[in-house]
Amino acid sequence: MLRLRSWATPLVVGSFALMSISGVLMFFHLNTDLSKGLHEWAGFVLVAGAVAHLVQNWRAFTTYLKRPAAVTILGLGAVMTAVSVLPIGATGAPDAVRPLLASVGSAPVPVLAELTGQSADQVIAELVAAGYSGVTEESSVKALVGEDIGAQVNALAAVFAE
């Protein structure tokens, strides 16, 4: 059986290198679907390698916990990780999609009809069938459901359904 030391550190270094490069590409929006997928899967590989590395070097790791700077850094990392999973800030549609949804959601029925290749009467019928009342040619999805992007997407789905 291979010893942890023979593969744990190279696994951490290799997956860290892949995640670093792909993470920088993602930050500058230069990534591809492949690099994004590799970045995500390399995260799992990095975790496995880090756990093995930690097991192999447990005694040395515990000595770090006696140093205030190390405890502070680890504590900040734990706090930042906890905060990162809280539902704070904008959620839902990606930034690039939000303006598109806002425009389409504010469009009156004739514009939606044009976008879907239907008549205005067909769009009105689909919205009414989906449970929206008071739909006229002057109506917009935003006027029917309000500011909630999720509700607007649901209404637009009724219109754009195939």
CA dihedral 62, 64, 65, 68 (to 10 degrees): 170
- Write down the pLDDT at residue 64: 85
Predicted local confidence at residue 85, as pLDDT: 82
As a whole number of angstroms, the distance between CA 121 and CA 81 comes to: 51
Query: Residue holding tokens 């449970």?
Result: 131
Q: Which of 134, 132, 109 is nearest to 122 (CA)?
A: 109
In eight-state DSSP terms, residue 97 is T
Q: Which amino acid is at 111?
A: V
Contact of 105 with 152, CB cutoff 8 Å: yes
Q: Which residue has the tokens 């637009």?
A: 156
Q: What is the CA radius of gyration of the chain?
A: 25
pTM (global) more than 0.85: no
Quick one: pLDDT at residue 128? 93
Block means of pLDDT (10 residues each) for the chain, length 162 residues? Answer: 80 93 91 89 94 91 90 92 76 66 88 90 92 90 87 87 71
